[in-house]
Structure 1
């Protein structure tokens, strides 16, 4: 008796997600490209240094996802957004954490918003895949901005199903509706983590729904050391850092040794926690 052929045996694998990386910092562009190029299901088809180049690359390559920085010379990311979203899904990937910028980016059609320092390399890849499939993705700062916007405009949507949102809690002695006490939703990082469990992981530095930027000046890292520390915090290996910065792995190790000494750290995870401002206990932020 012969075994019937599997119905999916001849189905080809899905085509890789086509991605454009737009950032004015060549080190960041190279780092992102190196991270994404190593994935079988993602292909970086072009890079862009500003919004105008991003639009040209989008028209030429018709990508599935565009990674877009906010602050770029010439045409910035916010200005380019309305044009880019007509062609592709857009994921903001930036150091800009201001609530107003997050909200405006989402109003103009961005499908997600990631702030550097709030995600690992694997989480970035997951976010790109999610955006490519139409699922939004946010890091804690962006999630906090969304909550802030909702609280500033507490009016219910105009299209609620009939009967919802109209009941009133009144004194039961007047035969009115008696609703149990319901506490308002918490703005803690724990609740935000439930919204995006893969991305909103850090509970440190939160105040009013958004994390405070860590003070990195105290660490006294050089410009090159700071660049390498950013790449370490993003999850890059020494080999990836060397390729991104066009230096040897031995030079990378020398930089890391000096970084660890300045951050009083003995591991990459400890150094990253201090660099990102998420180190627990009295040693937090010590450099």
Structure 2
């Protein structure tokens, strides 16, 4: 059966500045390590606007909890018994945004998680509380968040693969799917985890123009989500 909900005795000092509106987000958390699971659940429960409604010991329980509780976001570890986090993400991501929260930082694991539908990847040993909160809210809102190390690992793996003389490197530059120079610039920033608003600011464009670029990029890449686009782009 699924594990119990909401950590007992959790307090909620506000994280956001006084007066800022905070949208309540209902979270399901899955990790097979009981110390990590309890610690993360208690930590998240202290953040104003975040409500840990369910905790799971493995991917199977996470799937069950998501089906029962319909949360706004599922946070999954990668390596868990019964059903691992990547397999669970394949089920969950169809209806609920998924953020991987794990110690694993191997390039193939990060790429597999994004391909499975996860919209974010945060490495346990490297995040600060503000980054975790930003990742939770970004992914719950439909955005993509890769911790700096995860993005750098994937980018480095792609560069190393090309330098090694694989087929695509031997025949020319990395595949760009017909993206214009500006669209490639926008896609690079999306792969860094920037929102449309942040891309607009970085490129000195209006947010509407960035949205138009993103729509054309998705059409050229044949994807329907930022997570799919990022996964495909970083593996090119």
Within the alignment, does 1:84 sit opposite 2:95 as a pair? no
What residue is the counterpart of 1:95 in the other structure?
103
Show CA shifts across 1:145-172 (max 9, x none). Answer: 33135434653332425xx69xxxxxxx
1:160 is aligned, of 152, 166, 179, to 179
Alpha-carbon displacement from aligned partner over 1:105-139 (angstroms, at most 9, x marks no partner): 11111101111111112221121111111221122
The equivalent residue for 1:285 is none
Q: Tell me the distance in 2 between the aligned counterparts of 1:14 and 1:138.
A: 23
Q: SS of 2:125's equivalent?
A: coil
Q: How does 1:128-143 map to 2 (within 5 A)?
A: 128-143=136-151
Q: Which residue matches 2:186?
A: none
The superposition leaves residues 237-263 of structure 1 with CA deviations (integer Å, 9 ceiling, x where unpaired) of xxxxxxxxxxxxxxxxxxxxxxxxxxx
Length, aligned pairs only: 158
- Rounded Cα–Cα distance in structure 2 between residues aligned with 1:38 and 1:100: 33
* Alpha-carbon distance between aligned partners in 1 of 2:141 and 2:154, rounded to the nearest angstrom: 21
Distance 1:159 1:60, change over 3 A: farther
TM-score under structure 1 length normalisation: 0.50
Residue 43 (structure 2) pairs with residue 28 (structure 1) = no
Deviation at 1:20, TM superposition (A): 0.4
What's the TM-score, normalizing by structure 2?
Answer: 0.60
- The yes-or-no answer on 1:62 pairing with 2:64 is no
Secondary structure at the counterpart of residue 53 of structure 1: helix
Q: Deviations over 1:193-229 (max 9, x none)?
A: xx469xxxxxxxxxxxxxxxxxxxxxxxxxxxxxxxx
Find the aligned partners of 1:15 and 1:120 in 2 and give their Cα distance: 21
* Segments ≥4 residues shifted beyond 3 Å: 148-154
By percentage of residues, which structure has more helix? Answer: 2
Partner of 1:19, secondary structure, is strand
Which residue is equivalent to 1:53? 61
Unaligned runs of 5+ in 1: 1-12, 166-191, 198-287
The separation in 1 between residues aligned to 2:65 and 2:23, in whole angstroms, is: 19
